[in-house]
Structure 1
Amino acid sequence: MTRKLGIAVIGLGPASQPHSKSLLDLADRADVRWAVSRTPDRAKTYAAQFPFPTTTDLDAVLTDPSVDACIVLTPPSSHLDVSALCLEAGKHVLVEKPLELTSARGQRLVDTARRTHRTFGVVLQHRFRPASLRLRAALQSGELGTVEAAFLSVPWWRPQGYYDEPGRGTLARDGGGVLLTQAIHSLDLFRSLVGVSRVVAAQARTTALHRMETEDYVSALLETGNGAPATLVTTTAAYPGYPERIEITGTKGFAALIGGRLRLAFLDGSEEIVKAEGSTGSGAAIMDFPHDAHRAVIADFLDAIEQGRDPVVTGEEALASQRLVDEILSAARKGA
């Protein structure tokens, strides 16, 4: 029997909730040695919810030989520094999205992971939803034929109170607005499914619904990997928030992935439905979604460590999606 891997959860904000629930589910494979926060009150609150030992001493965690891997859930501005400390200490690392504030810092993190020969993955859990997996299979098998057009929409909502929290929606803490912080999940899934070969044009703005430094609305015209036209619209100003949507038109059928629900309609008249597993956190309740996909991300990360392979979402894959964000926003600035 393979021994349990020792895990440290670093960062005990809202993102720790689905990860910690997942680790409880995976207790036969993972032993959470430490849950770490630099804020004693946050560690105390967390300890009342989950049965894991808490500490504010990161150095002690990194020198603990029983810790094999760290799940880094700190703000994006600290991903490079915290993850690099873990990697240099010989720990495998799974880090929350986005990879870092900028692609340049993200590249440094990816380089550190490769140099230290540690398993390194990024939490982009939409790839692991059952409906997403089925859509990928339909594309890879040729069931949908050749992609002729594609569409991505993320009509989410965040109230002003969300952006009033220190650092939210700023370049210094988050690295960007809706595209990097909220839509990155759907954009990454979309890019991994159909590819993006070119950003044709883009617009980005901050609507009157929010007071924030970065953008809350982005639209773009894209070309898929095979040159087919694609459209992107993403916002956090669509009250009260609606599920993200990916539509793909193929020569043999049409796919509509709405949140976690997939409908495949084929030209021969057949149809297939993959039901959603729950909400997607598209509204004011940002953690209103099941943790199934997070559990799948962590399980894949544990498999990768045990099998000596890369996880499904590598640092390079996350970096490619972040660079696409850069390209879209750059096109928007040029258009303005």
Structure 2
Amino acid sequence: MSRIGMAVVGVGPAAQPHARSLVDLSDRIEVRHVVGRSPERLRAFADWFPFPVTTDLDAALSDPGVAAVIVLTPPGAHLDVALRCFAAGKHVLVEKPLELSAARGERLVAGARAAGRRLGVVLQHRFRPGARRLRALLAEEALGRVASAGVTVPWWRPQSYYDEPGRGTMARDGGGVLLTQAIHAIDLFRSLVGVSEVRAAEAATTLHRMETEDYAAALLRLGNGAPGFVMATTTAYPGEPERIEIVGTRGTARLAGGALEVSFHDGRTERVEAEGRTGAGAAIMDFPHDAHRDLIADFADAVAGGRDPLVSGEEALETQRLLERILARAGQP
């Protein structure tokens, strides 16, 4: 199998699990350029990873050997960088969230469609083994009809996290706990059980000095009409794994981080062990890169096979629209 040429744009903290994944996938993917604005950060990155680095994005995009670009910039730069990639004929994988707002995300999705290029989004929790098994159980109706479901994200971020320039601001991040931290769990939850309505919601800045919300909760109507809920915060010291619970007429499934426990009414049980930590506390990158690797592999397969990736731009846009509906119901601008 010939390798797919890729470029990476952005060398902030989010680049670490991607770079480790790309090392693992070196038999399938050739990283031809890693682009950053800071020569110092690029030099530090090059000390850790065996990829060529540059500050010249135009050079990377003009390289005919580059078929796709992984965009790891702050959210507000996704649209501009991705449109430049599409104009150069490249497929794009962007870090979450899709963009600062659903409206800008719609422009990004439309740009990919107009260019005939593939667009994927890094919402890697869908690739955890426990999540995959839970999806299969739901597809098989092994839990019966979903009677209720909820998702809880009791994470912790110290004030020093939000004291970093731009953290938790609309201009840089587009939002607070929902769009920056809880988006992974909520995206997985939405993809599993669907959300048809936000019935009530509340959002607030409760503990941190920051522009956006560090707490949000909502009562939901699921895709099949059953009741559901979401609660997310970055104030729950020291931080615990995010949790999805789905109550069915034949059993109950609990997904805590990557660990799945299923209890069936007939007495059977099933468990899938977690692959590692989740970044729920102050060490924000304290998690394994396995799910990133699987998501990037799926994106490479999508590019090679002419199909959409599992987490497409349209899928990520639906999740971002849900987050905005929660905030709107909570009276947030």
TM-score w.r.t. the length of structure 2 is 0.99
The residue type equivalent to 2:184 in the other structure is: H
Aligned partners of 1:103, 1:304: CA distance in 2, in Å? Answer: 24
Cα distance between partner residues in 1 of 2:218 and 2:173: 21
Tell me how far apart the structure 2 counterparts of residues 4 and 142 of structure 1 sit (CA, whole Å): 39
Aligned to 2:203: 204
Q: Distance in 2 between matches of 1:232 and 1:64?
A: 44
User: Alignment length, in residue pairs?
Assistant: 333
Matched, 1:285 2:283: yes
Residue-by-residue CA offset, 1:173-194 (whole Å, 9 max, x unaligned): 0000000000000000000000
Q: Which residue in 1 is equivalent to 2:35?
A: 36
Deviation (angstroms), 1:46: 0.4
Distance in 2 (alpha carbons) for counterparts of 1:217 and 1:318 = 22
1:264 pairs, out of 251, 254, 262, with 262
User: Residue type matched to 1:147 in 2?
Assistant: V
Name the CA distance, whole Å, in 1 between partners of 2:86 and 2:14. 21
**One of 234, 240, 243 as aligned partner of 2:241:** 243
The residue aligned with 2:308 is: 310
Q: Which amino acid counterpart does residue 237 of structure 2 have in structure 1?
A: Y
- 1:81 paired residue number: 80
Which amino acid in the other structure matches residue 11 of structure 1? G
Structure 1 unmatched ranges of 5 or more:
none
Aligned positions of 1:221-240 closer than 5 A: 221-240=219-238
Query: What's the counterpart of residue 168 of structure 1?
Result: 167
User: What's the counterpart of residue 255 of structure 1?
Assistant: 253
- Residues 96-139 of structure 1: per-residue CA shift (max 9 Å, x gap): 00000010100000000011111110000000000000000000
Q: What SS does structure 1 have at the residue aligned with 2:330?
A: helix
- Corresponding residue number in structure 2 for 1:65: 64
Give the C-alpha shift of residue 212 in structure 1. 0.2
Secondary structure, in 3 states, of the residue corresponding to 2:225? Answer: coil
Shift of 1:166: 0.7
- Structure 2 unaligned segments of length 5 or more: list them: none
- CA drift of 1:26 comes to 0.3
CA distance in 2, matches of 1:305, 1:77: 25
Equivalent residue letter for 1:295: R
Q: Counterpart of 1:159?
A: 158
In structure 1, the residue matched to 2:110 is 111
CA deviations 1:223-276 (Å, max 9, x no partner) are 100111101110000001000000000000000000000001000100000000
1:301 match: secondary structure? helix
> For the residues of structure 2 that align with 1:41 and 1:158, how far apart are their CA atoms?
27
Quote the residue 1:274 is aligned against.
272
Distance across 2 between alignment mates of 1:174 and 1:295: 24
Instruction: Tell me which residue corresponds to 1:133.
Output: 132
Amino acid at match of 2:319: S
Q: C-alpha separation between the residues in 2 aligned to 1:119 and 1:203?
A: 36
Structure-2 residue corresponding to 1:300: 298
- Counterpart Cα distance in 2 of 1:97 and 1:263: 27
Distance 2:312 2:118 in 1: 9
After TM superposition, give the deviation of residue 64 of structure 1 in Å: 0.9
- Rounded Cα–Cα distance in structure 2 between residues aligned with 1:18 and 1:148: 36
1:327 CA displacement = 0.3
Q: Which residue of the partner structure matches residue 188 of structure 1?
A: 187
Q: Following TM superposition, by how much is the alpha carbon of 1:151 offset from its aligned partner in structure 2, in angstroms?
A: 1.1
